[in-house]
Structure 1
Amino acid sequence: MKDGGDSGSFRNLCREERPQERMEQHGAGALSDSELLAILVRSGTAGHDVMKVASEMVRRAGSIAQLVRWTVADFEQLHGIGRVKALQLAAIMEVARRAILQTDREKPVVFDDPEKVFHFFQPIVAGLDVEYFWVLVLNRKNHLIRSIEVTRGIADASLVHPREVFRPVIREGGSAAIVAHNHPSGDPAPSAADVRVTRQLREAAKTLDISLLDHVVIGNRALDPAGVGFYSFSDGGLL
């Protein structure tokens, strides 16, 4: 489907209805989600004006926040969005994801609560369709030294080996660690493999004199039957 020309552009909207005009007069904060997206879309195909395309985008995503999960293929499903525009929108969403992630990492967070781990990883796991496993290397005050991806595309049979987790903790001079992995299904309930690897990591940490503070399974609050969005092995009494 081709990106269209002027038939769906801002030119065909009344001046007071043009999002760009409203933004110039009142600032970006005065615009609705659909109006902001309409500025990004700029034009639609014949018979599909920008506001209709933008409103349909929000409706399908559920909210503007959920758009960070969208792929190029998702954007192309919309009437009025062609390949080039889909690539541009996907790039914008990736920029938004990275900005959120970098902002969170710049904050001096003390990782003393599993919910903080959940919020740290939320923008990272959005849209991931395979399991990733991370270790947060912490100092004596539980401040983050570094977040390290250990493995990805994990098979259920074996999540991760202890040496893959604790080698970077030792290398970075960490005193403590928190491990985390995502469940693409959105349900963070631990599997038998999750329990097994947590026990292995707990015993290895004792041997290495490293404090393993928690293993947090990251899910999606909206898809979690418990409505929490994550599972903490520490809170569950398994660490």
Structure 2
Amino acid sequence: MPLQDLPAELRPREKLLARGPAALADAELLALLLRTGTAGQGVLEMAQALLARFGGLAGLLQASLADLKAVKGLGGSAKRAELAAVLEIARRSMAQQLAERPLFDSPAAVKDYVRLQLGSLAHEVFAVMFLDVRHHLLCMEEMFRGTLSQATVYPREVVKRALALNAAAVVLVHNHPSGHADPSRADEVLTQHLASALKLVDVRVLDHLVVGQGQVVSFAERGLL
């Protein structure tokens, strides 16, 4: 049903203005961003279909521009650009929050952040979260990509970057494009190798996070560090 055919109190914009954003369902919030639907599909139906396709708002936040382009009704650049901008705002907002307080005050926020950064990638990436002495986030940087192993992740590069940033600690992060987040034996060996190299320059490895489909596994939580 077109939004204009709904009673005024049920239209997302009017509902938000009258009752606040928390009163809106996920599909209603998304419909406000999309503004219009497609031929034969109202904007609310389009929003519901998008959420179903990506597994809710969390999945949508991980969508890439290519993922969005493949959706019927998002072929035009305007809607895709607006959605991509909102997703990037969410990522930057989370990064700012992590920079303003100790990282492990909110482990769930850290997992959400790395899921946003790496969860939608089709290739394997190894990144490092560099932290200051108070464990506030300095930055998160992609260090290597491709098939990861001890031979392709160079400890000296991680050490050099940690020293350049005057980092006191790091959290290692990589993704499994297959979707399975369980660490492999190779992941464990790589973690030990990097921890040993960083220890020589007094930089602690606090955790290693593995990002899979809808899941982030922590080495620290599993007692692997």
Q: Could you say which TM-score interval applies, normalised by the shorter chain? A: 0.7 to 0.9
Q: Percent identity?
A: 30
1:200 to partner: Cα distance: 2.6
RMSD, aligned α-carbons: 3.2
Say which one has the larger Rg. 1
Matches within 5 A, 1:85-100: 85-100=78-93
With the length of structure 2 as denominator, give the TM-score of the two structures. Answer: 0.78
Is residue 199 of structure 1 aligned with residue 192 of structure 2? yes
Show the counterpart of 1:226: none
1:128 to partner: Cα distance: 1.9
Is residue 53 of structure 1 aligned with residue 46 of structure 2? yes
Show the counterpart of 1:4: none
User: 2:132–2:169: 8 Å Cα contact kept in structure 1?
Assistant: yes
Q: Secondary structure at the match of 1:64?
A: helix
Q: Deviations over 1:37-96 (max 9, x none)?
A: 222222222322222212222222221222112234444555544423542344244334
- The letter for the 2-side match of 1:97 is A
Paired with 1:168 and 1:81, the residues of 2 have a C-alpha distance of 39
Extract unaligned runs of 5+ from structure 2: none
Paired with 2:218 and 2:107, the residues of 1 have a C-alpha distance of 8
- The letter for the 2-side match of 1:230 is V
Extract unaligned runs of 5+ from structure 1: 1-7, 224-228
Change in Cα spacing, 1:222 to 1:151, as seen in structure 2 (3 Å) is closer
Q: Secondary structure at the match of 2:56?
A: coil
Is residue 173 of structure 1 aligned with residue 204 of structure 2? no
Is residue 232 of structure 1 aligned with residue 224 of structure 2? no
With the length of structure 1 as denominator, give the TM-score of the two structures. Answer: 0.74
Runs of 4+ aligned residues of structure 1 deviating over 6 Å after TM superposition are: 112-116
1:132 to partner: Cα distance: 2.0
Matches within 5 A, 1:51-200: 51-111=44-104, 118-156=111-149, 158-200=151-193
Change in Cα spacing, 1:113 to 1:185, as seen in structure 2 (3 Å) is farther
User: 2:126–2:148: 8 Å Cα contact kept in structure 1?
Assistant: no
- The letter for the 2-side match of 1:198 is T
Change in Cα spacing, 1:34 to 1:185, as seen in structure 2 (3 Å) is same
- Higher mean C-alpha displacement, 180-189 vs 160-169: 180-189
User: 1:9–1:49: 8 Å Cα contact kept in structure 2?
Assistant: yes
1:147 to partner: Cα distance: 3.2
